């Protein structure tokens, strides 16, 4: 492959050279992440979790009801338009 960009192998080599040694991450850098403190400092009680769960359930029910109503309304309107358009044109 010749041309403006050169071969993909050369492009990758040049990109690595531009990064330099200090910007490269080794596998050791990724493995050391597991040594970080990952404890959750926020504690929730069972009552708070239950309140969150019921709130989410209510919101989901409202959303589903709205989606069903919109789907039924759009279906009704499309059927109505398919019925009215041939009547108008003839």
Per-residue tokens: 80: 């109505």
pTM, 2 dp: 0.48
Selected residue with higher pLDDT from 2 and 62? 62
Contacts (Cβ under 8 Å, ≥6 apart) of 24: 16
Domain ranges of the chain: 8-89
User: DSSP H helical segments within 1-90, as ranges?
Assistant: 8-19, 27-31, 46-89
Could you read off the pLDDT of 3-56 as tens digits, one per residue? 556 677 777 777 766 666 655 666 666 665 555 666 667 788 999 999 999 999
Is pLDDT above 50 for 65?
yes
Is pLDDT above 60 for 1?
no
**Are the CB atoms for 1 and 7 separated by under 8 Å?**
yes
């Amino acid at each position: 492959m010749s041309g403006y960009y050169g071969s993909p192998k050369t492009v990758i080599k040049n990109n690595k050279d531009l990064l330099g040694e200090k910007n490269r991450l080794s596998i050791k850098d990724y493995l050391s992440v597991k040594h970080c403190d990952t404890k959750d400092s926020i504690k929730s009680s069972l009552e708070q979790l239950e309140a969150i769960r019921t709130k989410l359930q209510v919101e989901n029910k409202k959303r589903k009801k709205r989606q069903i109503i919109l789907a039924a309304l759009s279906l009704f309107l499309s059927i109505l338009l398919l019925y009215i358009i041939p009547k108008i044109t003839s």
